[in-house]
């Protein structure tokens, strides 16, 4: 197994660790400044999420640069991305930090576009990531981090960045999904 695929596997293995810290019922302690408070569980989950999210582009870059792109990597990379985002979104809903509708919209889009990618592969083509898809990923990661760290530092100025980022992420997610389907409508069998 090559380095790029190992990095992808690390991202997959980090998912249950992140969920453990988010959903564990034992409080490992907390950190407070003024009216702001965050548990060590959340800090650990946020840091591990940042590490996992940063491997997203790294594995693909290494695979392309070293010409070690494999079918296993093509399968595992999008799977790892979806597992990471879906698991954390579901955990955030469970923690009452994220509106369930937003999680459903984001996860549904991921499944739909993944299905479209599979159709493209069956037709012998590869759907490249679009600019909107890249923006979607960046905004989702930003939103998740903001939610994991209790809207820090925006909470000090009473600015609901996490809530705004959540709705913007949902909107960009829908837009990028529609964009993928419109650009690839020739792949969708109409009978």
pLDDT at 25: 80
Question: Which CATH class, in words, describes the domain spanning 3-187?
Answer: mainly alpha
pLDDT at 179: 95
pLDDT at 111: 92
What are 34-86's pLDDT values in tens digits? Answer: 878 899 999 999 999 999 999 988 998 999 999 998 888 878 888 899 999 99
CA nearest 115: which of 50, 26, 187, 31? Answer: 187
CA nearest 60: which of 140, 118, 112, 137? Answer: 137
On the question of pLDDT at 103 being above 80, the answer is yes
* Residue 103 Ramachandran class (φ > 0 left, ψ -120 to 50 alpha, else beta): alpha
Asked if residue 136 has a cis previous peptide bond (ω within 30° of 0), the answer is no
Q: How many CB atoms lie under 10 A from the CB of residue 182?
A: 8
pLDDT at 65: 94
On the question of pLDDT at 191 being above 80, the answer is no
pLDDT at 152: 86
What are 108-165's pLDDT values in tens digits? Answer: 999 999 889 888 888 888 777 789 988 999 999 999 999 999 988 888 888 999 999 9
On the question of pLDDT at 105 being above 80, the answer is yes
User: SS3 of 187, please?
Assistant: helix
Give the span between the Cα atoms of 145 and 47, in whole angstroms.
Answer: 9
**Structure tokens belonging to residue 74:** 């093509």
Tell me, what DSSP letter sits at residue 99? Answer: -
**Structure tokens belonging to residue 104:** 């459903």
């Amino acid at each position: 197994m090559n380095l790029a695929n190992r990095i992808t596997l690390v991202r997959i293995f980090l998912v249950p660790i992140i969920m453990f810290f988010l959903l564990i019922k034992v409080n490992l302690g907390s950190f407070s400044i003024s009216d702001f408070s965050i548990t060590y569980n959340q800090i650990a989950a946020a840091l591990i999420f940042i590490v996992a999210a940063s491997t997203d582009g790294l594995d693909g870059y290494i695979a392309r640069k070293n010409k070690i792109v494999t079918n296993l990597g093509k399968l595992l990379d999008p799977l790892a991305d979806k597992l990471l985002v879906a698991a954390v979104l579901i955990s955030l809903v469970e923690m009452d930090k994220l509106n369930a509708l937003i999680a459903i919209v984001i996860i549904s889009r991921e499944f739909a576009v993944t299905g479209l990618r599979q159709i493209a592969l069956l037709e012998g083509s590869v759907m490249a990531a679009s600019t909107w898809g890249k923006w979607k990923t960046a905004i989702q990661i930003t939103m998740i981090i903001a939610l994991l760290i209790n809207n820090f530092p925006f909470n000090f100025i009473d600015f609901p960045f996490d809530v705004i980022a959540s709705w913007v992420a949902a909107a960009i997610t829908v837009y990028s999904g529609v964009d993928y389907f419109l650009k690839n409508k020739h792949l969708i069998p109409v009978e």
